[in-house]
Amino acid sequence: MSNVGTRTVCKKDMCAGCMACVDSCRHGAIAIEDTIEAYNARIDPTRCVGCGLCEKTCPQMVSPSSLRPLEWLQGWAKDTSLRMSSSSGGLATAISEAFVASNGLVCSCAQEGGEFRFHLTSDADYLRRAQGSKYVKSNPLGAYREVREALQGGQRVLFIGLPCQVAAMRNFVGSRLADSLYTIDLICHGSPSPKVLSRFLEETGNNLSNELILDFRKKVQFQLRYRGAETVGRTGVRDRYSIAFLSGLPYTEGCYSCRYAKGDRVSDITLGDSWGSELSDEVANGISLALVQTDKGRELLEMTDLELLPVDPGLAVANNEQLQRPSTKPIERNTFMDGFRNGVRVNRLVLRARPKDCAKYLVKDILLALGLLRG
């Protein structure tokens, strides 16, 4: 877009990258700028007519109502293959499949051709492709209009996204259509620009055109792997991107002051990992955390074949910091971003910022290579 001005939809560098403002603008006046450190929704003054729709949909400008959880649960999908192929207990996919089976539509994110895009679908195969955690900012552009049109046509829609994306969808759809919109938010630590992951993969001889997922299956082996199970680097050795992600180095600026990282939730159901669960025999197979805020949330769980058990709220909150507050910005973050802009390799930047973590996994890599340790 030409003539993009200095005015932004929300406060500079606080944009969540949800794209709702772009979908709301009928005049093509908004473009999302990705500086790696932050996103900004910039307004073209030659096209803007001052209608204010962008501000009304922006989750940073308008926060829809949020609720305290009514129920605190943990569990997993009874479909063993689904559970084992999921990042956690498989609840999101199981609920999606049950919703589609009840003649609803699901809007969720999947990686396709190097992009992380949202699609509105009733295709069960797509729902399986949407499994796995997303570790960069996903792109819901176009999804808001699709969902609203489906709701206007009398369809029921389940939207699954990050809390800021759920808030944006609720703002975009409005109260008149809200009864037919079901929402699930995913507990979010923060999300980086896709440019960070793209460069890391290029430096390691890989690329985003292949389907990558973050492997939570063995909690100590959190690392990037291809959907076909081949890992980026040696199996069991955490790669540098995963080290950076878990330490909060590459998140965009607005994530560190996220208004949705709190106890009151913006969706019908909140899903995450049941970290610290007392169900030690089930941890290796994956356990999901599920917080139910509304009757619609209960309806979603009741229609799905799940094993659900109560979880202690104090334990869940203690092991999921973003149920209390946003991620803390690491003191090394600005240096990391400066180096990235200046072309320093991601591996080197992470080594500088997290030398102890990198050294630990380097030693593990050597021991595995020598056959002195099993992965």
Domain covering 71-191+253-323 in this structure, CATH number: 3.40.640
Can you give the pLDDT at residue 218?
46
Contacts of 291 (CB under 8 A, 6+ apart): 69, 71, 72, 73, 265, 269, 270, 271, 316
Is 70 exceeded by the pLDDT of residue 44? yes
User: Residues 175-202: what's their mean pLDDT?
Assistant: 95
Can you give the pLDDT at residue 373?
83
Contacts of 78 (CB under 8 A, 6+ apart): 94, 305, 306, 307
The 10 Å CB-count burial string (b at 16+, else e) for 102-123 is eebbbbbbbbeeeebebbbbee
User: Residues 178-201: what's their mean pLDDT?
Assistant: 95
Residue 263 CA to residue 278 CA, distance in Å, equals: 22
Computed over every residue of the chain, the mean pLDDT equals 91
What is the token pair recorded at 193?
Answer: 């620009």
Query: % helix / strand / coil in the chain, to the nearest 5?
Result: 35, 20, 45
* Same fold yes or no, 1-62 and 71-191+253-323: no
H/E element, 112: strand 105-112
User: Residues 327-353: what's their mean pLDDT?
Assistant: 97
Q: Residue type for 239, please?
A: D
- The pLDDT confidence band at residue 23, using thresholds 50, 70 and 90, is very high
Q: Residue type for 178, please?
A: A
Considering the four listed CATH numbers 3.40.190.80, 3.50.50.60, 3.90.1720.10, 3.30.70.3270, the one that applies to the domain covering 1-62 is 3.30.70.3270
Residue 120 CA to residue 158 CA, distance in Å, equals: 9
Can you give the pLDDT at residue 1?
43
Helices and strands in the chain, H and E counts: 14, 12
CA atoms within 13 A on the CB side of 345: 9
Residue 162 CA to residue 245 CA, distance in Å, equals: 16
pTM over 0.85: yes
Phi and psi of 240, rounded to 5°? -65, -35
Can you give the pLDDT at residue 3?
54
Q: Where are the domains positioned within the chain?
A: 1-62, 71-191+253-323, 194-249+330-369
User: Residues 270-286: what's their mean pLDDT?
Assistant: 89
User: Residues 116-135: what's their mean pLDDT?
Assistant: 87
